[in-house]
Each structure stands twice: as structure tokens, then as C-alpha cells.
Amino acid sequence: MVAPGSLRVVRCGGSALRGARAVFSADSKYLLCASGDFVKVYSVSTEEILRLMGGHADLVTGIQLNPHNHMQLYSSSLDGTIKLWDFMDGILIKTFTVGSKLLALYTLACAEDSVFVVIPKKGERDSYQLVSLKLTKGAGQDLEGKELSVVLDGVSASMKHIAFGREGAYVVSVKDVTLQVYFFKRKLLNRFSLSTMKTKGGDNHFSCVVCHPTEDCIATGHADGKIRLWRNFHHRKEYTYSTLHWHHDIVMDLAFSVEGTRLLSGGVESVLVQWHGESSCQKDFLPRLGSPIECISMSSDGALCCTLHTDNRITIINSNLRFSRSIQGLIKSRDIKTGLVVDPRTKALVLNGEPGHLQFYSLQSDQQLFSLDIVQRQYIHEAGLKQSDLVKVAFSARGTWLATVEESEEVTDPELQLKLWFYHEEAQSFQLNTRINTPHDNHITDMCFRDMDELGDDSLILVTTGRDCVFKVWVMVEDIDPEEHQSVSWSCDFVGSYHNYQATNCCFSEDGSLLAVSFEETVTVWDSLTWDLKCTFCHPPGNIRKICFGRLTCSKYLIGATDYGFLCCWNLLTCALEWSAHLNVVVLQPDPLSEHIAAVSWLSKESSLFVFKPNEPRPIYIQRNLCKEKILLAAFVPRDEPEMISSEKYLWLRKSQLFFLTDTQELMTLSTKSLEERLTPSSKQLAVEESIPVTPFSLLLGKHRHQQAQEDIDLGKPVVHNKQEQASPAVKELLHTPAHVLPSASFLCTIFINSLLISKESKSAEEVADEVEMESEKADDDSDEEDVTATEQEDTGHMELLGEITCKPSKSQEKELRKIRKMDYSWISAF
């Protein structure tokens, strides 16, 4: 193995899927969506990621299928490039460098080799323009895209605010309360604006716009929940619009069905509304979608639609408004107060999810396991309403106990609840054991379990620290009351305080004998048996920000980080300061499996990582400029099996993996593997050729269809699927004769089959050519192997040569077809 050059920061957990509307592939088998800097290809039927296409240096803002080749995809990004991908193989075909930020991307079938992008207007802030960009047909991979021509000025930056009309005849842009329609052929710009004063209560700003696929009709969504359907907008004065109103709050997105007969809308209500025609009375609903709908997109055949939700989820919905699949990413919570906690049982990362929920995210498989509804209250969407949410979470060492603190923010007094959950193995679920109302009179700042092996369950201790200047020790007690079912419950054992200072952090030593609690500037160390104050440490000035004990060989040290940028290490035996370093530490995280401690500092707009052992003041690993964002939280996650790390420098990553969360809610980790190793998909070694020579029926139909398509293409027509009826006169006859005069099905079947049979010479030449091409790709590899087997076969006597059978598909197929002809179809009449 090659020694890796350096640690790489790798994103995991997937970025927000909300950068752009998702796109279905032409056959509706795959779903493409922008996710951070990547474009992801999902399989619709299995929810699995098929491909992850990376290459953009910044957020991907738009993805569109190449209208001239359905296997290709354009993607635009804030880094100023448009990339053309072959998404089935995940290969980057071309890169067009534009130079300025690209905020949205649109393609049109009629526009020959140009795409439309939204770019910021030069020299003006917060002003954008829609430009058409000519994609030059150069030879190389990297091309310049400089031929820009402005189409519309003063457009909005959101991709939902621009839409192209049927056949690309016009473009619509909305901004605030004005609607602009630009007709390409007539070069005419019509402007319509709504009066802001007209509506009472809500504002009627535009929130999204879509165009009818076949008619001249524009649908706009508004911030007050109304949908307007505009017609006759060719005239400046005589335009008309009708209003559909169901949503009570902003309409986040709209989508027309392929034929334009149905309109889908979604908003914060998490309800997908389907409007039939233009009457507001006919509508269907798909409620309870879980979270607000952000984007809606339809597949090109109209069979599926998908909604992107604010909780980083994609829901795939059938055309008859039945929920079909959902793809869930890491939920980005607004504020992760719980920190990153590792569940010892599932080895999943636990953090805030939806308000009141706790999400369990499996890092090994990079997917969400489940989320646990801790608060169990109805989520009410209302601006300014304070939801009660989880603020602290702690697991006991084996994961049998879970302690959660929920807080509903009130102005004067926080309403606090401490809940202790027991993992009930029988039911395989957490069960509420004890609920404590108002455990502290003010916010709880920290909480920890005594991290001992739970041999005797009574050794379990939970400590909470609060801003009400006390820390409380909770222990398990056996219930004396025989009536109650539970045998144990929790109760307070000790309340400690120190000079009326606010308690900020708490931490148990590895053996559980000592408890360190920091009170503003002072760290106090308590004996966990008698709750005596043993000693205090102080390193003025500045409050203590984080504390932790050393582990294993370094268990006699206590580490603390202060506000004033000091990292201090105290020796518990001598009660003296061992060493201190000037470092603005924001995160201090000990590794549970080794004596290493990771400290992340934040200085001059960059985060740096320091890994050290408490017994020596020199860090064993330093990585400056870890990332540009501020790192808020970190966690060591134990690996399943120790990783083989060749370099001495990275030995601290052997047993556990370090994850961190930045203030932009990105989950990152450090990887020693080189880029190639990580990215080389193991599945690549098995390039199984797709060959499904399935039922004779489908073979026949497939051939028919293929021929039809060929003819259509020759004639220059677009492929329309529903043309099968005029295939043969017999079929036509069969379909057009009234059912009551038809003979029995068993009689008809032979005629039907016969009519579908193709005579020998009709096998088209193109097909043969196709097959040859397919074979030739593999020929290089196979030829050698085949030679080898051939020689082997000569050597060994009892082997059979089988190559010939598969070589002549036409003969065998014919045989099979004849067999079908002779088959007994009397069973059909039973139906």
C-alpha cells in the first residue's frame, strides 16, 4: 500500500438535496438530483445511490437533461462552470467555463446548442440577468463558454422564478410583484404587475412560476398561498387570470403534468395538492408528507413525480397520488444543540433532527437509520412559534439508558423536561422510565452519564449542570411500591453548588471515581462516592469552555479550555498545572478508545485540528486550515475493525474515526485513504452485461416496437409509444370486433400468435449490426479467455462444448416460437 500523503477532509452524510429541482431520466428509472457539490443518481425502484458525480468546486445550482441526448446531463454550479455528464456511467464529458456565478440553468429542445443561465449582473449587487449561452463544439474536455447574450434583465436569482413556455416560444420571469413575459420570435416583452395593496393581510409576492406544456398558460404561486393561472398574456391589457386558493401559506413550488391537465402544488403544509383543470373545486390531496415541500418535479412520461422536502428527503409519488418511495438524507436541523453523540448500541451518530426528534444516522452505510420522536407533540407550523426541542442527549456506556432534555423556549422561564428512557429489548424500542419536570430552574448546560461498564446497574449515575448554579446527581433507585410495574426509577441524590457560580460543564473520569464540574472560571473535582469537594482548579482569566479527563495511561490529567484562549492540563495527583498552551479551542473531544484528545481551534477564519496526548504538551498531529467554516462539534466514532494505517502520523485514527460538524451543517470526516481508493467502486470489477432474453412474448413485442421505432426515426417523426394498434390487420380486427361476437379465446390465441410472428427475412440489418457492436466492446477481454477454454476443452474429455447453442439465437428462437404455436391454449378459455 502506498503511504498516503496527507489526511483528506471528506464530506459525508450528503449535503442538502435542495439546490435544484430533481430530474427524472427519460425512462423514469433514475432520479438525478443536485446535492451540494455533487450530482447524485438514484435508482427509483431501490432508493439506492447509483452514481455520485463530483467535479464541481461549489454548490450545484441546476441540473437539466440534455434535450438532444437523454443519457446526458448538464449541471451548473456557483463555481462558474457547466458540466456535461454521461450519468449512466458517471463520466464527465465536457466542462464549459463561464466565469461568473451560475445561479440557475435551463435547457430548451428547440435551442440548438445553447442553454440559458442566470448570472449576476456586472457592477450591480443583487441584480441578475438571464442569458443564453452558446455551448461551443470544441474537441477537448475543457471549453470556454463566452458567447453570452442577455435575454432578460432584472430577474430573480431563484431557479423557480423563471420558466419557459411551450416549445420555447416565450420565457416568463417573476420578481416580487411583477411578471415579465418575453416572446422570442416577436421580441416582445410584456410586463404585468400585481398591486401590493390589493390583498389584505398577506403579501402577494410571486414565489414560483411554471408554464403549461401545450397551451399558452402560466401558473404562478404566491406568498399568500394563492395560485394564479394567467392567459391571454400576449396582450398587454386584455390579459386574464383565474385564482386557485387552498394553501394557507406560501406556495413553494408548482408543476404541470406532462399533458398539462393537472397541476401539482406544494407548500409548508406538507400536502401535495393536485388541481384538475382550472376549477378550484376539483382537487386531490396527498397529505402527511412529513415536512414542507420545497420542489416538485415530474417525470417525462408522467408516471412519477417527486417532491424535495426541507428535511433533506426526496419522496417519489405515483401518478395516482400514491406515495411510493422516499430517500432520506441527513436532516439538517437549524441548530444542533444536542451535539454529536454516538449510540453505543447501533454505532450510529445521534443528533437533532426534525424539531423534537432525534435522528440516528448510520455512518457505515451513510444513511439515516431512524428518527426517534422524543417530544411527542404535534408540530405546528407558525412563524415565530417556539417549538420545544431537544437540547441535550446522553447515552449510558452500553446504550441501555438514554437521557434527553427538552426545552421549550419561553422568554422568561425555560420549560425543561428531563426524560430517562430505557432500551426495552423485548419490544426493541426505547421506553420512558422517568420524566422529571423542571430538573433545573434555568437552562441545562451539560449532562453526562458515569461512563462505567454497567455491571452493577446501580452504579449508573447521571449528572446535569444548570445555569441555576447547581449540578444535580441522579441515581437509579429501586421502587418500593409494589403496585407499580417498574422496578427502577430515577431520583435525585445530590445537589452541589460552588459559590453560586453557574455550572457549565461536567465530566466523569474514566474509572468513574471523580466528577469534574466547571463553574464559570473554576473547575471543581468531586468524589463520586461521598460527593465531597476534592479540589479546585482555576486558570484566570476567562470562563471554562470545555473540560475532559485523560484516559488510559493519562487518566491522571484533566484538560480544560478557557474562553481566553488557553488550553490547560492539570495533574490530579499533584493538583498543579502541568502545562498550558495558548490556543483558542472551540471543540475538545477525547477519543473513548485511546488517550488521544482532539482539539479544534478557530483562529482568523479557519479551523485547525490538534491531536495530543495529555502527558506531553507537544501535539502529535497538527492540521492547520482544516476547513474554512467554523467547526462546532466533533465526535470520535469507534471503528468496527481497526484500520490498517501505515503512517506513524495517523495512528490516532486507527481505532476511531473523527467526525465534525461545521456551522453550515456539513458533516465531515478525516480519511487517510487516497481519493482513488475511496472512489474506486468495488462493483466495477463486475461489469455484468445486461442481457435479459426473457419471455418469448416480450421478445416479440420488443422486436415489433423496435422496428416501429426504426421506421419512425427514418421518417423523422418523434417516437410515440401508443402506436401499436395498427401493427397488423389481425390484431386490429381482434381489437375492433365487439366482444360478444368474438369466438372463444383459445381459438383466437393461435391466430393472434401467428399474426405476431415475423417471417425469417424480416430481421432487420440494423439489429444485427447493433449486436455486433455490443459484442465488439467485450471482444478484447473475452477473446483470450475463450481461447484458453477452448484448449482446455480439448484436453479434458468429459466436458461438453456449449458455445454453439448460444451463437444462433435466431434458430433457437424460431424453435421456441414454433413450440408456442403448437401449445395448447385451451386454458385461456377458463378465464
Partner 1 sequence: MAAPPCAFSPRGCRLFASSGPDGRLRVWDTAGSRLQHEYVPSAHLSAACTCLAWAPGGPRQPPSKDGPQRKKRKSEAGEVDKQLDILAIGTAVGSILLYSTVKGELQSKLDGGHDSRVNCVRWHQDSCCLYSCSDDKHIVEWNTQTCKVKCKWKGDNGSVTCLCISPDGKMLLSAGRTIKLWDLETKEVYRHFTGHATSVSSLMFTTVKPMNESKPFDGITGLYFLSGAIHDRLLSVWQIRSDRKEKNAVMSFTVTDEPTFVDLTISEVKEEPVKLAVVCRDGQLHIFEHILNGYCKKPLTSNCTIQIATPGNDGDSTPKPVPILAAAFCTDKQSLLLVYGNTLQPIIEKVSLNTSESHICLVRDIQKVLSLKTDAALTKVKTPVVNLDTKVLVPGIPGHSTAIKTPASGKEKKKNKRKPGETEESIEERLGALDIDVSKVKTPGGLPQTDSFAVLLVQGLESNDAEILNKVLNTRKENIVKNTVARMPIHAVIPLLHELTKRLQGNPYSASVMVRWLKSVFTVHASYLSTLPDLIPQLGMLYQLMESRVKTLQKLSRLHGRLFILVTQVAASQTVQDVPEVNQTAKLVYEDDSSEEEGSDDEMIADKDSDENWDEDEEKDKEEQSDEQDMTVEKEINGDSDLEPENESEEE
CB within 8 Å of 415: residues ≥ 6 apart: 388, 407, 408, 438
Confirm or reject binding of residue 240 to partner 1 (CB under 8 A): no
Q: Which long-range contacts (CB under 8 A, 24 or more apart) does 516-523 make?
A: 516/547, 516/549, 516/558, 517/463, 517/465, 517/471, 518/543, 518/544, 518/547, 518/560, 519/469, 520/544, 521/562, 522/498, 523/547, 523/558, 523/560, 523/570
CB within 8 Å of 237: residues ≥ 6 apart: none
Backbone φ and ψ of 803, nearest 5°: -60, -30
Confirm or reject binding of residue 785 to partner 1 (CB under 8 A): yes
Angle between helices 729-736 and 745-756 (to 10 degrees): 150
Task: Round to whole Å and give the CA distance between 625 and 205.
Answer: 43
Which of 761, 795 has the CB closer to partner 1?
795
Selected from 454, 493, 663, 712, the binder of partner 1 by CB under 8 A is 493
- Residue 743 grid coordinates: 369466438
Confirm or reject binding of residue 531 to partner 1 (CB under 8 A): yes
Selected from 150, 552, 772, 805, the binder of partner 1 by CB under 8 A is 805
Which of 325, 546 has the CB closer to partner 1?
325
Q: Restricting to residues 286-305, which ones interact with partner 1 according to CB under 8 A?
A: 288-290
Give me the least distance between CB of 701 and partner 1, in Å please.
14
Selected from 280, 326, 555, 708, the binder of partner 1 by CB under 8 A is 326
Q: Read off the DSSP letter of residue 48.
A: -
Which of 107, 315 has the CB closer to partner 1?
315
Which of 735, 807 has the CB closer to partner 1?
807
Confirm or reject binding of residue 453 to partner 1 (CB under 8 A): no
Which of 110, 533 has the CB closer to partner 1?
533
Which of 54, 225 has the CB closer to partner 1?
54
Task: Round to whole Å and give the CA distance between 777 and 768.
Answer: 15
Selected from 318, 429, 737, 826, the binder of partner 1 by CB under 8 A is 429
Selected from 150, 495, 742, 769, the binder of partner 1 by CB under 8 A is 495
Task: Round to whole Å and give the CA distance between 504 and 532.
Answer: 19
Give me the least distance between CB of 236 and partner 1, in Å please.
46
- CA distances for 669 relative to 404, 624, 656, angstroms: 26, 15, 11
Which of 126, 640 has the CB closer to partner 1?
640
* Residue range at the interface with partner 1 (CB under 8 A); choices 211-219, 498-506, 765-773, 791-799: 791-799
Of 252, 261, 194, nearest in space to 223 by CA:
252
Selected from 275, 401, 430, 537, the binder of partner 1 by CB under 8 A is 430
Q: Restricting to residues 1-20, which ones interact with partner 1 according to CB under 8 A?
A: 12
Confirm or reject binding of residue 492 to partner 1 (CB under 8 A): yes
* Residue range at the interface with partner 1 (CB under 8 A); choices 65-73, 204-212, 658-666, 790-798: 790-798
Q: Restricting to residues 334-393, which ones interact with partner 1 according to CB under 8 A?
A: 345-346, 348, 354, 357, 362, 364-374, 376
Q: Restricting to residues 397-426, which ones interact with partner 1 according to CB under 8 A?
A: 421, 424-426
Give me the least distance between CB of 436 and partner 1, in Å please.
4
Give me the least distance between CB of 531 and partner 1, in Å please.
6
Length of the chain in residues, anyone?
Answer: 831
Q: Read off the DSSP letter of residue 165.
A: -
Of 711, 821, 818, nearest in space to 760 by CA:
818
Give me the least distance between CB of 808 and partner 1, in Å please.
12
Task: Round to whole Å and give the CA distance between 465 and 469.
Answer: 8
Q: Restricting to residues 54-73, which ones interact with partner 1 according to CB under 8 A?
A: 54-55
The 678-707 contact track toward partner 1, x by CB under 8 A, reads xxxxxxxxxxxxxxxxxx------------
Confirm or reject binding of residue 46 to partner 1 (CB under 8 A): yes
Task: Round to whole Å and give the CA distance between 483 and 514.
Answer: 37
Selected from 127, 754, 789, 810, the binder of partner 1 by CB under 8 A is 789
CB within 8 Å of 779: residues ≥ 6 apart: none
Give me the least distance between CB of 44 and partner 1, in Å please.
8
Confirm or reject binding of residue 485 to partner 1 (CB under 8 A): yes
Q: How far is CA 809 from the centre of its chain?
A: 45
Q: Restricting to residues 715-734, which ones interact with partner 1 according to CB under 8 A?
A: none
Selected from 199, 580, 746, 793, the binder of partner 1 by CB under 8 A is 793
DSSP 579-630: EEEE--EEEEEE-TTSS-EEEEEEETTEEEEEEE-TTSSS-SEEEEEEESSP
Confirm or reject binding of residue 318 to partner 1 (CB under 8 A): no
Of 74, 128, 137, 72, nearest in space to 100 by CA:
128
Confirm or reject binding of residue 91 to partner 1 (CB under 8 A): yes
The 659-678 contact track toward partner 1, x by CB under 8 A, reads -----------------x-x
Confirm or reject binding of residue 315 to partner 1 (CB under 8 A): yes
SS3 701: helix
Give me the least distance between CB of 217 and partner 1, in Å please.
32
Q: Read off the DSSP letter of residue 726.
A: G
Which of 368, 665 has the CB closer to partner 1?
368
Which of 798, 822 has the CB closer to partner 1?
798
* Residue range at the interface with partner 1 (CB under 8 A); choices 162-170, 489-497, 596-604, 717-725: 489-497
Of 327, 316, 326, 385, nearest in space to 355 by CA:
385
The 631-650 contact track toward partner 1, x by CB under 8 A, reads ---------xx---------
Give me the least distance between CB of 533 and partner 1, in Å please.
10
- Residue 72 grid coordinates: 446526458
Task: Round to whole Å and give the CA distance between 696 and 816.
Answer: 8
Confirm or reject binding of residue 77 to partner 1 (CB under 8 A): no
Give me the least distance between CB of 652 and partner 1, in Å please.
20
Give alpha helix (H) positions in 420-511.
none
DSSP 363-390: TTTTEEEEEEESS-------TTPPPEEE
* Residue range at the interface with partner 1 (CB under 8 A); choices 88-96, 131-139, 536-544, 727-735: 88-96
**Amino acid at position 124, single letter:** E
